[in-house]
Structure 1
Amino acid sequence: MTIKRYAVIMNPYGGNGRASAVWEQVAPLFANSGVETVVYATENQGHGRVLAQTLDPLTHDAICIVGGDGTVHEVANGLLAREDQARFDLGFIPAGTGNTLHDHLGLRDAEQAAKTILRGMTRAIDVVRLTTQGEPVYCVNIVGWGAISDIASLAERFRPLGKLRYSAATLCQICRPRLRKAKLTLDGMMSQDEFLLVIACNTKKTGTGMMIAPRAEIDDGKIDVVVLRRASRWQMSQLFRAIFDGSHLSLPFVEYHQVRSFGIDSETCDTLNLDGELTGTTPFSAEVLPRVLNVFA
């Protein structure tokens, strides 16, 4: 019997520093199943990408990610940027403030997630390849612009609030909405207007339980795009109240599209929210890469 050897990429700073404790909780499950694990703790931002890009496929059979959305984003980008095009099955153990992909896959606690990995069954998921400033970035969760980026920036300042920080930042954004002029392209069709926000979702939820894209599936070859052009503070508060159960799609000022490609060219060079990370700028173009990552699920 060949012994499996899994690389464990852990963000010790994720989830307000609880990732190490989460791994200690589930590590015995791997040991008792005869799986060897080698833990690689990330040391700084971007280290997860470097690790995934350089792991030896001859000595590692899969990658387990202990962290949140940011760590998943880094590992996915490292894996898809490999020159040798080696691919590893990916396992997700939730240990971050935001665990959006985990939630979509039904992996809501660490022990359940570990057992899912050890069961060994995988499924293929879509990824969005976005080109910004001439460089590719891969997203597994969201691409956000406008108020979505503003909320993420403010949420960083509210980090001591933990999971409540996204809701608090959203409420602040409602009080000071900002319109931006831009060209939005969806599957080749361009419209020019003023927008409050555009968010493209691969998963149903983002933030902490906000069901922004209730029709989204991570293996349908499409990305679900929610667009908000002009809206009053009252309408934005309606949106916020409805967004946790997906009923905001019934609001007449909310647009919902399912596309294979999209892009934004704004009057100003605006920072993007890519899987919760504030990186990249407009203008950008993006396309869905169907089923390019295998994940334990």
Structure 2
Amino acid sequence: MKAQIIYNPTSGKNRHTKEDVEKFVSKGNFSKVKFASTEEEHWERFDANHPDVIFLAGGDGTVHKVAKVLLESKKIDSHTPVHILPMGTANNISKTLRIGSSYISHRFNTVKYLKRFDVGRVKGFREREFFLEAVGAGVFPALVSRIKNMQITSFSKSEEIEKSLEVLLDVVRNFKAQRAVIKTEGITISGHFLLVEVMNIQYIGPNFELAPTANPGDGYFDLVLIPEEKREQLLDYIQKMIEEFADEEDLKDMVFSMRVKKTEIQWDGPDVHVDDELIQGFSGGSFVVDLDPERLKFVKDL
């Protein structure tokens, strides 16, 4: 069995090394192990190695980059098992998959514990045609915009999450709710919203568990809406997250959520994102989100 290591040396503030990852993978007794750093030119050509399993050492951004190769390549099956060694800051994808951050305890069984993973497709933007995590509008892309202009990379992971939540508090206080029209499953929903998200996984941004029941392999998205009149409840909930006593019951009373397969969203303002990328130049318009089921597979622990 051939293994491929994809390693992002900038994930997790350099608290892991190439040697650490190689030593871990060597315990699997693979017949051949290839290594590629995302800092190297043409690392994406790893698909030509035809690996039987991929070990991905990085965060959510690295998962997205590897998924792009798998989805677009003609040399490798997109169902090639990906074993995430989560080393980013938020690690929202691996948290949804219940993959522990300590990869010392991870298993090498690449058959029994495979998790099918749906992919989202988006029409209406020039770029970012697929997503793994979420697509939407409102306070979270506004948060991403704010964070990009701040210097918080010197913080620890936990400090960075807490700082991001503090910034989110300020964003929610001052965000101007936008009108949206959502058409899905034969119904139309309209109003002024702080947040409209189509979630493929459970978490968004700074480990905010916005869709607790989301299952990225069940053939559905979770459409999550927070209307303008729930602003104070959202502020209270974020504060509870900072203080580490947020209750899922509070979330249920704050959001409208439903399972969907295809959704058209008309959003009248800016602040739109696909995964962790902002849609530049968006100032209002519509986009369509559709489901591409079971396109990827991840190795999952017990």
TM-score calculated relative to the size of structure 2: 0.82
The 1:123/1:271 distance shift into structure 2, 3 A limit, reads same
1:24 maps to 2:19: yes
What residue in structure 2 maps to residue 246 of structure 1? 248
Aligned partners of 2:47 and 2:73 also within 8 Å: no
Q: Secondary structure at the match of 1:283?
A: strand
1:31, CA displacement in angstroms? 1.5
Mapped partners of 2:293, 2:230: distance in 1: 37
Instruction: With the length of structure 1 as denominator, give the TM-score of the two structures.
Output: 0.83
Give the direction of change, closer, same or farther, for the CA distance of 1:34–1:84 in structure 2 (3 Å limit). Answer: closer
Q: Which residue of 2 aligns with 1:69?
A: 60
In structure 2, how many angstroms separate the alpha carbons of the residues matched to 1:159 and 1:33?
37
CA distance in 2, matches of 1:8, 1:276: 23
**Amino acid in the other structure paired with 1:287:** D
Q: Hey, what does 1:159 align to over in structure 2?
A: 152
**Long gaps (5+) in structure 2:** none
**One-letter amino acid of the counterpart of residue 38, structure 2:** T
* Cα shift readout 1:6-33 (whole Å, capped 9, x = no counterpart): 2222222222233x43x43342132132
Q: Please tell me whether the aligned partners of residues 260 and 287 of structure 1 are also in contact (alpha carbons under 8 angstroms).
A: yes
**Is the deviation greater in 55-64 or in 140-149?**
55-64
Alpha-carbon distance in structure 2 between the residues aligned to 1:272 and 1:233 = 19
Write the deviation string for residues 96-128 of structure 1: whole angstroms up to 9, x where unpaired.
011011112221224246x33x22232211121
Shift of 1:170: 1.2
- 1:281-292 to structure 2, matched below 5 A, reads 281=282, 283-292=286-295
Counterpart-to-counterpart distance in 1, 2:55 and 2:168: 32
Q: Distance in 1 between matches of 2:204 and 2:229?
A: 21
What is the count of residue pairs matched by the alignment?
283
Shift of 1:207: 2.9
Tell me which stretches of 4 or more aligned residues in structure 1 moved more than 6 Å: none
Query: Paired residue for 1:80?
Result: 71
1:90 paired residue number: 82
Q: Identity of aligned pairs, percent?
A: 23
Instruction: Give the match's secondary structure for 1:203.
Output: coil
Distance 1:31 1:204, change over 3 A: same
Q: Following the alignment from structure 1 to structure 2, what is the Cα–Cα distance between the partners of residues 56 and 239?
A: 44
Matches within 5 A, 1:8-157: 8-18=5-15, 20-21=16-17, 23-35=18-30, 36-43=32-39, 51-52=43-44, 54-57=45-48, 59-83=50-74, 86-87=77-78, 88-112=80-104, 115-116=106-107, 118-121=108-111, 122-135=114-127, 137-156=129-148, 157=150
* CA deviation after TM superposition for structure 1 residue 166, in Å: 2.5
- Give 3-state SS (helix, strand or coil) of 2:145's partner: helix
Question: What is the CA distance between 1:167 and its match in structure 2?
Answer: 0.9
After superposing the two structures, state which structure 1 stretch, 60-69 or 132-141, moved more.
132-141
Q: Deviation of residue 226 (structure 1)?
A: 1.3
Structure-1 residue corresponding to 2:207: 209
